[in-house]
Amino acid sequence: RRLVQSRRSLMMVCLCFMGIMRYLAKLSSLGSISEEETCEKLRGLIQRQVQICKRNLEVMDAVRRGAQLAIDECQFQFRSRRWNCSTLETVPVFGKVVTQGTREAAFVYAISAASVAFAVTRACSSGELEKCGCDRNVHGFSPEGFQWSGCSDNIAYGVAFSQSFVDVRERSKGQSSNRALMNLHNNEAGRKAILSNMRVECKCHGVSGSCELKTCWKAMPPFRKVGNIIKEKFDGATEVEQRKVGTTKVLVPRNSQFKPHTDEDLVYLDPSPDFCDHDPRTPGMLGTAGRQCNKTSKAIDGCELMCCGRGFHTEEVEVVDRCSCKFHWCCYVKCKQCRKTVEMHTCR
Amino acid sequence: MAGAIIENMSTKKLVIVGVILVLFQVFSFMVGGLIAPSPTTAVPYLATKCVDSVHHNEKSTKWFTPWGPNQCHKIRDFEEATVKKIEANNIVFAVHIPGPKIEMSPWFQFMLVVLQFEIAFKMYNQIDDGAVVTIDVGLAYRDDTFSDWTELAHSVEQRKLSCNFTAVKTFENEGRYYDCNLLPFMELGSVAHKYYLINIRLPVSERKKTNVGIGEIKDIRLVSIHQNGGFTKVWFAMKTFLTPSIFIIMVWYWRRITMMTRPPVLLEKVIFALGISMTFINIPVEWFSIGFNWTWMLLFGDIRQGIFYAMLLSFWIIFCGEHLMDHTERNNFSVYWKQVGPIAFGSFCLFIFDMCERGVQLKNPFFSIWASDVGTELAMAFIVVAGICACLYFLFLCFMVFQVFRNISGKRSSLPAMTKARRLHYEGLIFRFKFLMLVTLACAAVGSMFPFIISFVNEGHWHWGEHTVQVNSAFFTGMYGMWNLYVFTLMFLYAPSHKRYGDEQSLHLHLQHFIRRPYPERLTISSYMDSPPLEQFRVKCLAQGHNGGI
C-alpha cells in the first residue's frame, strides 16, 4: 500500500515540475516566447512564475532550452536504469500538492535547476540577454560601471535567475512543508554542481607575453559533466526527515549515524519504488517490459535486474550500421553502410 | 662619488626620510587597492552560429551580426544544420564585442582575445594527432548602432588544436567534451571604437586537407581581456603625479653634480641614466591614446619597461663594482662589458621577440608567433637565450656581491688600525653599500612576496571592513610606486653632499691620508650631524693617485 502511494507520488512530483519543463521544451516548435500572453498560456506555471515570465520574456527562450537540456541529460544519465526518464513523454499531469519525494525526484529537481542556470548563463555569453552580468555590478548597471570596472560574471546572473524562477514554486508553498524543503535543497545542490566545478582559466599578457600580467576567469563545465556530478550525488543521496530545531524546520539524516549531508548532496524523503511494473493509474509509470537489457552485465542494466526476474526474449536482429565514415566538423557525414547481426534482449 | 648625502646625514634625518618613503609606498599600495578596480576584465563570449545562405560575389564582404537589428539567420546547433542541409562552409561564427547595451572605450587601452573550441568526442570522428584548424577571420568596427561595419582586419590563420580527452574513448563517453587549450586569437593595441564584430569561418576543403579531422565542433568560445577603465584612470593619475616628482629630483641631482669642479664619476652617471629611464616610463604619453588611435602603444610600453629593467640591472652591477674596494681603477663603463653584455644581449633578444609578436600584430592583429612550428621554435630560442643571459647576469651579480662582502669583512678587521679619515672613508663605503643592499633586498622581497600573497587571495580581492581591497591592482600600483621611490631615493641619498660648501670654518683638517680612486682630487668634508658639534666635524682630504698609509 505504501509502495503504491509513494510510486504515484514520485510520478506526480516529476511530472509536476518536469511537466512544465517538457511543455516549455515542446514550445520550441511554436517559435519563440515573445509575447506576454504566451506566459499566461504556459500550463503549469504558478502565478508568481507567470509574473517572472512576463518581466523576463527574453530569458524564457533560454529557460526553454534549459528544460530540453535537463530532459536530454536525465535520459542520458538514466539510460540503463529501470526508470529511464521516459515517463515524461506522456501528457503532463499535475496532481495536488505532493507530500513525498524520492531519490529520482531529487535528481530531476537538481538537474532542472542546474540546467536553467546553465542555459541562462550561456545565453548571456552569446549576447541574447540585455540585462545579465552588468546589472549585478557593484557600480550599478550603467555604461560607466562597465567602463570603470567591467561586469560581473554571467554565472551569477544565471544562478540568480534559476533561484528566482525555479525556487519560487517551492517558496510559495511555504517553508514548512518538508517537500518544499527537500526540493529547495536539491535545487540548490544542482546549482552548486555548476558553481563548485567552474574551471579557472588564465591568460598571461605581460611584457612579451610574460606572466607579469595575468588575467583569470571562470568557465562553466560542460553540461555532461554537470549531469555526471549530479548523478554521482544521486547515487550517494541521503535519506532525510524533517525535524524542528528551535523554531525552524530542517532536514536531518534519518539514520543519525550517517554523516550529515552538505549543500552539494542530494536528499530524499521516501524510498524509491522498484519501477518494475506498468501502473495504469500512475501516468508515466511504464515498467520495464519491452526494455532492452544487457545479458552479460550484473549491474542494473543487466537482464536479471532490469527485467525484475521476469525473464527476457532474445532475438537476432540485423542492424544497418555506419562504417568507414568521412566527417566534416559540421553537418556532413559520408558513410558506407555495414550490416551486422546482433543479439537483442528485451524484458518480458 | 665621495661624500654622498647618505653618509653625511644624521640617523634621525635618515629615519625621517625612511618613514616618509614608507608612507608613500603604503599610499601607492592603497591607491591601487582601494580606489582602482581590478586591473583587467575578462568577458566571455559564445559565438553565434550564423548561416551564410546567400552566395554573394566574393568582393563584397558581408558582416554577420549575432543580435540587434539586422541580425543574421541563426541556427541553434549543428543537428539543425544537418537537417537543413547547411554545409560547414556556410556557417559563420559571429561575436559582437561588447554585449548589448554597453560599449567599448579608449580607456580600455588594449584588447586581447583568446579562442577555445568546444569539441564533442565521437568514436568515429575523433581529433587527429597534431590537428590544425584553419580559421578565416574578419574584424570590423563601428561607432554607432546603425551604420555599416567597417573592416579593420581580415586574415586566414592557422592554430594548432591541442585537445585531450580525459575519459576512456568508448561509445559510452560519446558526447563528452575534449579539454582544449586556450588558443591565442587576437591582440589590439588600442580600443578606439565602440563596437567590434568578429566573424569566424572554418572553411573545409578535402582536397587541400584544411579543417579535416578536427572532430565535431559544437561551439566556439571567445574571451576578451581588456584593462579596466577605472584602473587606467588611476594609473594615468599616478604617472602624471610621478613624472614631475622624478623629473625635479633628476634636475636637482644633475645640478649638484655639475656644481662640483670634478667631472661626474661613472656611478653618478649611471644613477642619472636610471633616473632618465624612469622618467621615460613615467611620462604619461598614454593620455594621447584616449584621443588618437595609436596601436603601437602596447609595444612602446614594452620597450620603455625593457629599457628601465636593463638600466636597473646594469646599475646594480656597476654599483657593486664601484664598491669593491680592491684598489683597482674602474670608473669606466668598458670595464663592465662582461657583466653588462649579457644584459644588453638578453634585452635585445626580448626586443626582437617582442617585435616579432607585437610588432607584427600592428599589421595583423590575429598574428601569433606561437601558431606555427618555426615561430614557436624561434620564440623559444629567443626566450632561452634571454634566460641564459639572465642566469649569467645573476651569477656575475652574486659573485660580485660576494666579493664585496669578502672585502668588507677584510676591511672590518683592519679598520681600528686605520687612521680616522681612512676609516671614515671605508665606513662610508660600507654603509653606502649595505644601505643599498638592504633597500634592494627589501624591494625584491616585496616584489616577490606579493604574487605569493595574491595566490592565497580568492579572485584577486579581499574584504576589509566595508572596503574591498583589489590585491592585484594594489600590487601593480605598489610595485610601480616602489621602483619610483627606489630611483628617487637613489638620486636623493647618493647625490654628492653639499656640506663642503659651508664648512671651511670648522677645520680640523686631517690631511694625513690619501687613497686611490674613485675619489677625485678634491677636498670633501663630511659632517656627522648627529654627533656633538664642532670638534667632531671631520674633514677628509682625499686625493686621487696616491697610495694610502703616509
Inter-chain residue contact A149 with B91, CB threshold 8 Å:
no
Is the per-residue pLDDT at A26 higher than 70?
no
| Closest CA–CA distance from residue A168 to any residue of chain B (Å) | 28
DSSP assignment of A171-226: HHH-TTSHHHHHHHHHHHHHHHHHHTTPEEEEEE-SGGG-TTSEEEEEEPPPHHHH
**B546 or A294: whose pLDDT is higher?**
A294
Question: For residue A134, which residues of chain B lie inside 8 Å, CB to CB?
Answer: 99, 101-102
Measure CB to CB from residue B45 to each of A125, A130, A143 and give the nearest one: A125
- Asked if B51 has any chain A CB less than 8 Å from its own CB, the reply is no
Cell of B291: 584621443
- Same structural domain for residues A147 and A220? yes
Cα of first residue to Cα of last residue in chain B, in angstroms, is 23
- Same structural domain for residues A205 and A268? yes
- Same structural domain for residues A281 and A323? no
Give the domain-ending residue among A263, A287, A311. A287
Nearest CA in chain A to B119: A329
Walk me through the domains of chain B, giving residue ranges and CATH numbers. Answer: 5-39+230-536 (1.20.1070), 40-227 (2.60.120)
- Asked if A348 has any chain B CB less than 8 Å from its own CB, the reply is no
Averaged confidence pLDDT in chain A:
77
Task: List the one residue out of A224, A253, A275, A248 whose CA is nearest residue A105.
Answer: A275
- Same structural domain for residues A146 and A19? yes
- Asked if A122 has any chain B CB less than 8 Å from its own CB, the reply is yes
When divided into structural domains, chain A yields a total of 2
Question: For residue B211, which residues of chain A lie inside 8 Å, CB to CB?
Answer: 328-329
- Same structural domain for residues A82 and A211? yes
- Where helices occur in B40-114 by DSSP H, the ranges are 78-83
Query: pLDDT digits over B14-40, tens only?
Result: 899 999 999 999 999 999 888 888 899
- Same structural domain for residues A244 and A104? yes
Give the domain-ending residue among A243, A260, A287. A287
Kindly indicate the confidence band of residue B534, based on its pLDDT and cuts at 50, 70 and 90.
very low
- The reported pLDDT for the residue numbered B277 is 95
Task: List the one residue out of B542, B434, B436, B408 whose CA is nearest residue B493.
Answer: B436
Please compute the mean of the pLDDT values over residues A224-246 and round it to a whole number: 90
Query: pLDDT digits over B139-197, tens only?
Result: 999 998 888 899 999 999 999 888 989 888 888 888 889 999 999 999 998 999 999 99
Is the per-residue pLDDT at B380 higher than 70?
yes
- Same structural domain for residues A203 and A139? yes
Q: Which of B123, B124, B209 to mutate to test the interface with A (most CBs of A within 10 A)?
A: B124
- The reported pLDDT for the residue numbered A311 is 85
Q: What is the dihedral of CA B186, B189, B194, B197, to 10 degrees?
A: -20
In this structure, of A271-285, B209-223, B245-259, the range with the lowest mean pLDDT score is A271-285
Is the per-residue pLDDT at A121 higher than 90?
yes
Inter-chain residue contact A208 with B354, CB threshold 8 Å:
yes
Cα of first residue to Cα of last residue in chain A, in angstroms, is 25
- The reported pLDDT for the residue numbered B456 is 67
Inter-chain residue contact B82 with A331, CB threshold 8 Å:
yes
At B53, is the secondary structure helix, strand, or coil? coil
- Same structural domain for residues A190 and A129? yes
- The whole-angstrom separation of Cα B3 and Cα B8 is 7
Inter-chain residue contact A331 with B118, CB threshold 8 Å:
no
Inter-chain residue contact B41 with A134, CB threshold 8 Å:
no
Q: Which of A68, A120, A126 to mutate to test the interface with B (most CBs of B within 10 A)?
A: A126
- Same structural domain for residues A80 and A219? yes
Give the domain-ending residue among A287, A304, A323. A287
- Same structural domain for residues A192 and A339? no
Inter-chain residue contact B306 with A332, CB threshold 8 Å:
no
- The reported pLDDT for the residue numbered B282 is 94
| Closest CA–CA distance from residue B298 to any residue of chain A (Å) | 9
What's the CA angle centered on B42, arms B37 and B44, to 5 degrees?
145
**B421 or A200: whose pLDDT is higher?**
A200
User: What's the domain range around A101?
Assistant: 2-287
Question: For residue B302, which residues of chain A lie inside 8 Å, CB to CB?
Answer: 207-208
- The reported pLDDT for the residue numbered A235 is 92
- Same structural domain for residues A208 and A118? yes
What percent of chain B has a predicted confidence (pLDDT) above 90? 33
Scanning A84-113 for CB atoms below 8 A from B yields: none
Please compute the mean of the pLDDT values over residues B445-467 and round it to a whole number: 69
- The whole-angstrom separation of Cα A122 and Cα A68 is 14
- The reported pLDDT for the residue numbered B459 is 60
- The reported pLDDT for the residue numbered B499 is 61
Q: Which of A208, A223, A324 to mutate to test the interface with B (most CBs of B within 10 A)?
A: A208
- The whole-angstrom separation of Cα B180 and Cα A222 is 12
- Asked if A58 has any chain B CB less than 8 Å from its own CB, the reply is no
- Asked if B481 has any chain A CB less than 8 Å from its own CB, the reply is no
Cell of A73: 541529460
Question: For residue B354, which residues of chain A lie inside 8 Å, CB to CB?
Answer: 207-208
Averaged confidence pLDDT in chain B:
82
- Same structural domain for residues A58 and A114? yes
Which ipTM was obtained for this model? Answer: 0.83
Query: How many residue pairs from chains A and B have C-beta atoms closer than 8 A?
Result: 149
In this structure, of B138-142, B390-394, B421-425, the range with the lowest mean pLDDT score is B421-425
- Asked if B193 has any chain A CB less than 8 Å from its own CB, the reply is no
Query: pLDDT digits over A193-223, tens only?
Result: 999 999 989 888 877 677 778 888 989 999 9
Inter-chain residue contact A219 with B44, CB threshold 8 Å:
yes
Q: Which of the given ranges, A147-156, B95-104, B511-520, has the highest pLDDT on average?
A: B95-104
In this structure, of A83-97, A210-224, B477-491, the range with the lowest mean pLDDT score is A83-97
Supply the CATH number for residue A328's domain. 3.30.2460
